[in-house]
Amino acid sequence: MSDSLVKKVHQVEIPVRLDIPAVVRRLRVRGGDGRFDEMMTELAEKARAVARPRAVYMTSIVRCVDREHVDVDGVRFTSRVLGRLFHDGETVYPFITTAGQELDKLKFPPRDMMMNFSLDAIKTVILVSAVEYLADYLKEKLVLESVAFMNPGELADWPISQQQPLFDLFGGEEKQIGVSLTAGGAMRPIKSRSGIVFPDATGFLSCRLCTQFKCPGRRAAYDEIIVKEFMS
């Protein structure tokens, strides 16, 4: 992307939404244990007090190159699924969201394993909620009837290495929200997610194509028919 085409990057402050039953499901423990519930309440209060989830997004135009390549504002992505989902000339919304660096300041000794597992699950739930909030926010702000999103790394078809071109689109503006990409392709803070929100009237959910069968965040069952449809 040439300098003359550098797009405006918007920042969104995201309210902390912490669904404790969702945390408990992720931990695969039963609620109702007094000590556990007390610990979870205490942790949730601490997390709510410091968490500052936020996101950056931009408005971008797609050019479909061939069956497995699309250009987004001139930056090339390789994915059959994106090639199938996106339409030439349509507007999409690349984003980077984070649960925030502030949560990483909450620390417990390594021997407090349950405390540390629970905190990790809390951070994940705050991040997942932040992505959902951003999708709803874009829907409302841009008057889009329905949207879906894809994140690099969820599907073998759009691997984690595709985060680099996504970050290239933002041209360093992701620093506004304290997110960076390491040389190895991991995001810092770890509880961050990048992706593209796009208009979708079909109810697309990447989970239907995803083989991470044990994922506790699964939103729909794996569907071989849909996989064949997208990968053929």
Per CB under 6 A, residues contacting ligand SF4 are 154, 206-207, 210, 212, 215, 217-219
Q: Whole-number minimum distance, CB 213 to ligand SF4, in Å? A: 8
Q: Whole-number minimum distance, CB 147 to ligand SF4, in Å? A: 16
Distance CA 190, CA 3 (A): 30
Nearer to ligand SF4 by Cβ, of 7 and 218: the residue is 218
Those residues whose C-beta lies under 8 Å from the C-beta of residue 119, and which sit 6 or more positions away, are 43, 47, 106, 108
Q: Whole-number minimum distance, CB 25 to ligand SF4, in Å? A: 13
Q: Which residue in the block uniquely carries the two structure tokens 């909620």?
A: 129
Nearer to ligand SF4 by Cβ, of 49 and 156: the residue is 156
Q: Whole-number minimum distance, CB 42 to ligand SF4, in Å? A: 28
Q: Whole-number minimum distance, CB 129 to ligand SF4, in Å? A: 13
Q: Which residue in the block uniquely carries the two structure tokens 């949730």?
A: 44
Radius of gyration of the CA atoms of the chain, in A: 18
Taking phi first (over 0 means left), then psi (-120 to 50 degrees means alpha), and beta for anything else, what does residue 100 get?
Answer: left
Nearer to ligand SF4 by Cβ, of 181 and 210: the residue is 210
Nearer to ligand SF4 by Cβ, of 60 and 206: the residue is 206
Those residues whose C-beta lies under 8 Å from the C-beta of residue 145, and which sit 6 or more positions away, are 139, 199, 201
Distance CA 101, CA 156 (A): 28
Q: Whole-number minimum distance, CB 223 to ligand SF4, in Å? A: 12
Nearer to ligand SF4 by Cβ, of 34 and 203: the residue is 203
Task: Check residue 143 and report its DSSP letter.
Answer: T
Helix (H), strand (E) counts: the chain: 6, 10
Nearer to ligand SF4 by Cβ, of 192 and 206: the residue is 206
